[in-house]
Copies of this chain bind each other. A is one copy, B any other.
Amino acid sequence: MAIIEIRIELKKGVADPEGSNTKKTLESLGFEGVGAVKCVKVFEVELDMGVDEAVKAGEEMCRVLLANPVIQSYTVTAR
Identical chains in the assembly = 2
When distances are taken between beta carbons in the complex, the residues of chain B under 8 Å from A13 are none
What is the interface size of chain A, counting residues whose CB is below 8 A from a CB of the partner?
A: 32
- Are the CB atoms of B47 and A35 closer together than 8 Å? yes
User: Of B32, B36, B65, which is within 8 A of A26 by CB?
Assistant: B65
- Are the CB atoms of B46 and A35 closer together than 8 Å? yes
Answer yes or no: A42 CB below 8 A from chain B CBs.
yes
Q: State the CA gap A25–B19 with chains docked (Å).
A: 28
Answer yes or no: A45 CB below 8 A from chain B CBs.
yes
Q: Top 9 closest A-B pairs, CB basis?
A: A35-B46, A33-B48, A40-B42, A38-B44, A36-B46, A37-B45, A33-B49, A33-B47, A42-B42
